[in-house]
Chains A and B, each alone.
Chain A
Amino acid sequence: MSLFSQAFAVARKDLAVELRTKESLNAAGSFAIVILVIFSFAFDSFSDEMKEYGGGLLWLVFAFAGALVFNRGFARELPNECLDTLLASPLSGAALVIGKAFANFTMLLVVELVSLVVFGIFYNVDWLGQAGWLGAVFALATWGVSILGAVFGALTVNLRLRELMLPVVIYPLMIPILIAAIELTNIVLTRRSISEDMQWVKVLVASDIGFTGLAWLLADTILVS
């Protein structure tokens, strides 16, 4: 089996488990909606300026909800020694990390879609005309945070303060991706052209390639239990 088919098998397994239990999606989705509701008290949600703040608001929500998804990624393998079994299988470390990242990516995209619908309704922002561009920005940025979530989810899975340590470690690393995603989302929501600010696309692409490459290289080392 090639690395990608192995990674795809891991992602398919994680998504199948998630579809049955819905533990990450329910927690992250409802958390995202609650945060969006709370933010609506802090801002005038019907002002024209909402589109200018929309990117920041959405990506804060995604980052917080993402931590819930990433925490479960490897933690769901702890009961019944599933993680040890996966490590003992012929599966390569890189395939396991990339597969987990792909599962994180898919789950986070679902949470983002739900949040975007709620955001559009609660904050009176019509984003449907920009759905294609928003999708591209979300996909690029979500892959970057998902691969970070998979790597550091693996590294922190056996820590006693796992839920606390993961955000402390990954949020600072996510910041370049979040800044770029916020800027690009604001550009799309205010219907400006992305070509005005291509540097943010470059930041996202460089982060995605850089973090995926590092995850690939370090996977076997970080997965030694």
Chain B
Amino acid sequence: MREKLVVAFVALGAILLAYNLYQIFLVLPDEAAQGYIYRIIYFHVPAAMVAMLGFFAALVCSVWYLAGGDLRFDSFAASIVEVSVVFATVNLVTGSIWARVEWGIWWTWDYRLTSQLVCVLIFAGYLIMRRAIDEPTQRARLSAALTIFGCFDAVIVWKSIEWFRNNHPGPVLSFRTGGEQRMDPAMEHQLFLNALALLIMAVALTLVRARQESTAREIDSLRRAAHV
């Protein structure tokens, strides 16, 4: 059943992504001030949205694990964090390419950029730490606590463009501006469509990783039982 679900998600994501690529590169016009390079926003912002959504989903799974002790939620949280770190890295890399073209530099220690980099480092530390712990419940407990503390930084990433004066552009999407349209509606619509495509892909990847995590845990418990 889960395999069919994964195949369905991948197929749906691939079709939507192909449609989006056609729209982004061949249909939508260049942006008046930035020209062709503005198209990176269709990957930069959706990657950040998927990553942030992922970190908060991992937070929910971690709290659920701590409340009930069900290791499946730990597997889910670990899988979600792994996929989210990839999307957060995509967000940083695409942002850096855009900055090189628009600002002439690859990186600036702006609050938004710095907090996002810190977020990636926190959750990369989470993944490194998981490999260093053999005992499943200890690993799950430590991981859950780190996720909860790490999401403190994720909130700073989310709100930094409102709290601090940044080089990074301020909020432009209508759901962050209280409905005020700061981006062309057709462009914004396309951005949300690509966010949906990336989200579907992220869910498919998470399901595959969660399955691998569960299998690894089962093998580990069998190995432990054999040694007792």
What's the Cα separation between A173 and B148 when bound, in Å?
11
**Known pairs A172-B122, A176-B115, A199-B164; A159 contacts B132 (CB<8 A):** yes
Bound together, the chains give a CA A126 to CA B7 distance in angstroms of 67
1/0 contact string of A148-177 vs chain B (CB within 8 Å):
100110011011110011001101110110
Binds A, one of B23-31, B137-145, B183-191, B201-209: B137-145
A-B contact pairs, 30 of them (CB 8 A): A151-B149, A152-B146, A155-B141, A155-B142, A158-B138, A159-B133, A160-B132, A164-B132, A165-B132, A169-B125, A169-B126, A169-B129, A169-B146, A171-B121, A172-B121, A172-B122, A172-B150, A173-B149, A173-B152, A175-B114, A176-B115, A176-B153, A176-B156, A199-B164, A207-B152, A211-B152, A214-B148, A214-B149, A222-B142, A224-B141
A residues near B (Cβ < 8 Å) are 148, 151-152, 155-156, 158-161, 164-165, 168-169, 171-173, 175-176, 179, 199, 207, 210-211, 214, 218, 221-222, 224
What's the Cα separation between A207 and B153 when bound, in Å? 10
User: Which B residues between 136 and 172 are near A, CB-CB below 8 angstroms?
Assistant: 138, 141-142, 144-146, 148-150, 152-153, 156, 163-164
Contact A221 B66 (CB under 8 A): yes
Does any Cβ of A come within 8 Å of B196's Cβ? no
Q: Is B33 an interface residue (CB 8 A)?
A: no
Minimum CB–CB distance from A51 to chain B (whole Å) comes to: 20
B14 contacts the other chain (Cβ, under 8 Å)? no
Given A165-B129, A222-B141, 17 more pairs with CB closer than 8 A: A155-B145, A159-B132, A160-B132, A168-B125, A168-B128, A172-B121, A172-B122, A173-B153, A179-B114, A199-B164, A207-B152, A210-B152, A214-B149, A221-B66, A221-B144, A222-B145, A224-B141
